[in-house]
Structure 1
């Protein structure tokens, strides 16, 4: 029974990461014609509506006021800053490279937990995290003038994701996950709207643009649902390594839609990022089993 549940959780994780990349691909296609913050604002409308429908369908509208909880809003702020960085990087870099750099977020989270929360992480996990960061630099491929601004934005997105997850630990469990996501989508939409009004020249979207963004919003909401479902169906230690499939889908999207593949150095970097992330999860899983065995004895 547990094996069946784990398999279902793995399937949900693979589907969730694929859905995220599909939504991001729609966004990248639209950013070829429209300013990035305008794209984010329009997608935010669709995503907020999709999340609102999800909250209603789950019967959680009665507790939607939980979205105003300070910690939920602080988490939403971290997600908003990450998304602002991400959409600009996505408009200027190959999708596979952006997603690969974004995979350093869990590594940053590990180091952040050690430095800020005084969690013991051990030298092996530190070494694996540093290997992942080395891989990210191979993807970014800094030149004589340093790391390209778009790559720096991708790193910024990863940093804010890690901050979001650190803050997310303090969000009260009485607030449903869907309500927290709804608050996040609303904040992203509002801030992106302000950014496009203040910094960009509005470009009238075509029907094609609206269709793509109308699909990207629900795909984003479905991706979050898939993540939630994955961890509820299976064991976290078993499911977590499959989040690295995000990078695989990013490479496939870049090849199928734009005919782009990372160069050899970037491919090596992506492999290092994914391998270090999986190794950290497997290390945690092994230590968990050792603790369980010692407790049983």
Structure 2
């Protein structure tokens, strides 16, 4: 047994990976908080454009450092164009949900993304999904309905924004899995932020006119850019450092941090159904991961 494959080394990598994943989720929740706060003073489209331009600048620097091409020919493939459309859909509706609904409910609904990816993979690519996993997928959707509360007086039509954003991100994740392997994470990041700029420009036409950001707004947006890039970096290293079956479940900690940020920064008070629905979504998602891991282990 080599040192690289020793149990102690593997356990240490898992611990570091889990810690980095939790750190990434904290940073993503902070990014959401900063963007939600700035969007109360500036048009949503303008916020998205500034955030997108900042992200593009960071990833452009990374691409240059790695001696990669800014505009790779694979960018113009049909799959990448579809990915860009899903990216725009996810970014637009998720940001609108942050602005017009609560951070806690938006964070809860976002956790259903892996569940939708699993269901879509089974339908589109005929990935093997047994009866148990289909039951867990349905359970996850029931959790989303608990958060939305469509039959109660607490239901807000604006809650659909988070659902549309979540579906957009699920489509993006699906197409990313099939993206040409010649494209690096830095190139994909650049193209994702470019889609954010384009979608922000479209929103600004509807939500404008643009206003001159204050020094406080620019500071908050700069912080959101730095936090967002740091979160993406932590996420990338976490996925590479530990076992996926151990590290990935810690992504669901974003729900806790999102709700905490909503309570502390905006005085939100998630009701009982929101909390129960969020827990149901997390349980369904974790169970799907667990059954998938067991199936792969048995197959190996």
TM-score (structure 2 length as normaliser):
0.91
Q: Any gaps of 5 or more consecutive residues in structure 1?
A: 293-297
Alpha carbons of structure 1 residues 6 and 64: separation in structure 2 relative to 1, 3 Å = farther
C-alpha spacing 1:6/1:60, structure 2 compared with 1 (3 Å):
farther
Aligned partners of 1:37 and 1:87 also within 8 Å: no
Q: Could you tell me how far 1:204 is from its partner in structure 2?
A: 2.5
Distance 2:236 2:134 in 1: 28
| Structure 2: segments with no counterpart, 5+ residues | 1-8
Contact 2:74 2:180 in 1 (8 A): no
What is the rounded CA distance, in whole Å, between the counterparts of 2:16 and 2:283 in structure 1?
23
Deviations 1:73-114 (A, max 9, x none): 432321121000011111011111101101111111111111
2:209 match: 201
Partner of 2:3: none
Aligned-CA RMSD value: 1.8
Distance 1:113 1:235, change over 3 A: same
Q: 1:187 aligns with which of 182, 190, 195?
A: 195
SS at match of 1:61: coil
Number of equivalent positions: 291
* Bigger mean CA deviation after superposition, 142-151 or 156-165: 142-151
Q: Secondary structure of 1:33's match?
A: coil
Distance (Å, rounded) in 2 between the aligned partners of 1:211 and 1:66: 36
Can you list the C-alpha shifts for 1:24-52, whole angstroms capped at 9, x where unaligned? 11000011122222211111121111222
Alignment partner of 1:97 out of 98, 101, 105: 105
Q: 1:248 to 1:180 in 2, by over 3 A?
A: same
For residue 64 of structure 1, report the CA deviation from its aligned partner.
4.8
Distance, in Å, in 1 between the alignment partners of 2:294 and 2:20 is 23
Partner of 1:295: none
Which stretch shows the higher mean deviation, 69-78 or 247-256? 69-78
Residue equivalent to 1:86: 94
Q: Does the Cα contact within 8 Å between 1:67 and 1:180 map onto a contact in 2?
A: no
Matched, 1:7 2:39: no
SS in 2 for 1:120: coil
Q: Tell me the TM-score normalized by structure 1.
A: 0.92
Q: Provide the rounded CA distance (Å) in 1 between the counterparts of 2:74 and 2:124.
A: 26
What are the superposed Cα offsets for residues 224-281 of structure 1, whole Å, 9 maximum, x if unpaired? 2222111110111111111101101101111221222311111111110111111111
The residue aligned with 1:265 is 273
Partners of 1:204 and 1:149 in 2: how far apart? 31
Once the two structures are TM-superposed, the CA of residue 187 in structure 1 deviates from its matched residue by 1.9
Is this contact kept in 2: 1:21–1:250, CA < 8 A?
yes
Q: Measure the CA separation in 1 of the matches of 2:56 and 2:74.
A: 13
